[in-house]
Chains A and B, each alone.
Chain A
Amino acid sequence: MAILQVKGLTKTYGKGDAQVTALGGVSFSVEKGEFLAIMGASGSGKSTLMHLIGGVDRPTAGSVTVDGNEIYALNESELAIFRRRHIGLVYQFYNLIPTLTAEENIMLPRLLDNRKADESKLRAILETTGLTDRARHLPSELSGGQQQRVSIGRALVNDPALILADEPTGNLDSRGSREIVDLLKLSNKRYNQTLLIITHDEAIALEADRVIVISDGVIVRDEAVR
Chain B
Amino acid sequence: MNIIYKLTLRHLLMNRARTLVTLLGIVLSVATVCAVAGYMHAYIDYAYRNAQAQYGDWHIRFCGLSEEAANRLTKSGIVESARAEPSEYSFFGEGEAFDVYIRLIPGTDAGEAYALEQDIYEGTERHIADYNGVLMALDGISYDDFGLRKSVYALAAALIAVIAGSSAVVIANAFNISAADRVRQFGILKSVGGTGRQIMRAVLFEALALSLAAIPLGAAAGMGLQAGSVIALNRIMTGVGLIGKNGVVLRMAWHPAVLAVTAAVALLTVFLSAWRPARRAAKMPAIEAIRQTRDIYIRKHETKTSPLTQRLFGFEGVLAVKSLKRGKGKHRAAVVSLTVGIVLFVSVYSFVRLMKQSVMSYYDEKYNAALTVYGGADRQDAVNAALSERGDIGFVFWKYIYLLQADYMPPSFYTEEYNEWNGSLGYVSFGSVRLNAVPDADFALLAPESAGIGGIPAVLINTTGDIWSKGRYTSFTPYNMTPGEVLRLYENIVPDEWGSVTWDPVTGEYAGYDEYVSVTLVAETARPPAGAPYSWNGTPSVLIRDSDYRLLTGIYAGSPVYVARGDFLVTAADADIFCEEAEKALSAAGVDSAYFSIRNLGQQRRQDAAIILIVSLAGYGFAALLSLIAATSAAATLSTGMALRRREFAVLYAAGMTGGGLNKMLNLESLFYTLNSIAFGMPLGIAVSYALHAIITRPAGVSAYVPPYAPPLAPLAIAAGAAGLMTFAITAAGKRRLRGLSIAEAIKSEVT
Which residues of A pack against B, CB within 8 Å? 51, 54, 56-58, 76-77, 80-85, 87, 89, 91, 93, 95-100, 104, 108-109, 111-114, 154
Contacts and interface: CB of A to CB of B under 8 A. Distances in A.
Size range of the chain B interface in the assembly: 20 to 34
A112 B287 contact: no
Contacts of A98: 14, 752
Interface of B: 2-4, 6-7, 10-11, 14, 184-185, 187-198, 285-287, 290, 750, 752
Given A56-B286, A108-B189, 12 more contacts: A56-B290, A80-B194, A83-B190, A83-B191, A83-B193, A84-B193, A91-B191, A91-B290, A95-B191, A99-B11, A99-B14, A112-B4
Contact of A112 (B10, B185, B193): B193
A80 B190 contact: yes
A97 B193 contact: no
Contact of A76 (B11, B195, B290): B195
Nearest to A51: B287
B198 A97 contact: no
B160 to A, nearest CB: 36
Q: Main SS of the interface on chain B?
A: helix
Contacts, number: 78
Given A56-B287, A99-B10, A112-B198, A93 B750 contact: yes
Contact of A108 (B3, B10, B195, B290): B3
Contacts of B188: 95-97
A85 B193 CA distance: 7
Closest 7 pairs between A and B when the two form their complex, measured CB to CB: A84-B193, A111-B3, A99-B10, A56-B286, A80-B195, A57-B287, A83-B193
Contacts of B287: 51, 56-57
**B2, B3, B4 — which one has the most chain A CB atoms within 10 A of its CB?**
B3
Contacts of B195: 76-77, 80-81, 112
Contacts of A77: 195-197
Nearest to B287: A57
A111 to B, nearest CB: 4
Given A108-B3, A109-B192, A114-B2, A97 B290 contact: no
Given A56-B287, A57-B285, A112-B198, A104 B191 contact: no
A73 B287 CA distance: 18
A172 to B, nearest CB: 13
Given A97-B7, A99-B10, A104-B3, A81 B750 contact: no
Contact of A83 (B4, B192, B285): B192
A203 to B, nearest CB: 24
A99 B197 CA distance: 21
Contacts of A100: 7, 10
Nearest to A111: B3
**Most chain A beta carbons < 10 A, residue from B190, B192, B194, B287:** B192
A87 B190 CA distance: 12
B468 to A, nearest CB: 61
30 contacts: A51-B287, A56-B190, A56-B285, A56-B290, A57-B285, A77-B195, A77-B196, A77-B197, A80-B190, A80-B196, A80-B198, A81-B195, A84-B194, A87-B193, A89-B191, A95-B188, A95-B290, A97-B188, A97-B189, A98-B752, A99-B10, A99-B11, A100-B10, A104-B3, A104-B6, A112-B3, A112-B189, A113-B193, A114-B2, A154-B192
B194 A57 contact: no
Nearest to B2: A114
Nearest to B3: A111
A87 B192 CA distance: 8
B193 A80 contact: yes
B192 A57 contact: no
Nearest to B192: A109
A89 B290 CA distance: 12
Contacts of B192: 83-84, 89, 108-109, 112, 154
A87 to B, nearest CB: 8
A225 to B, nearest CB: 29
Task: Find the residue from B4, B14, B191 having the highest chain A CB count within 10 A.
Answer: B191
A153 B206 CA distance: 28
A194 B524 CA distance: 100
B5 to A, nearest CB: 11
Nearest to A93: B750
Contacts of B4: 112
B184 to A, nearest CB: 8
Nearest to A155: B192
B285 to A, nearest CB: 7
A13 to B, nearest CB: 11
A101 to B, nearest CB: 10
A85 to B, nearest CB: 7
B7 A99 contact: yes
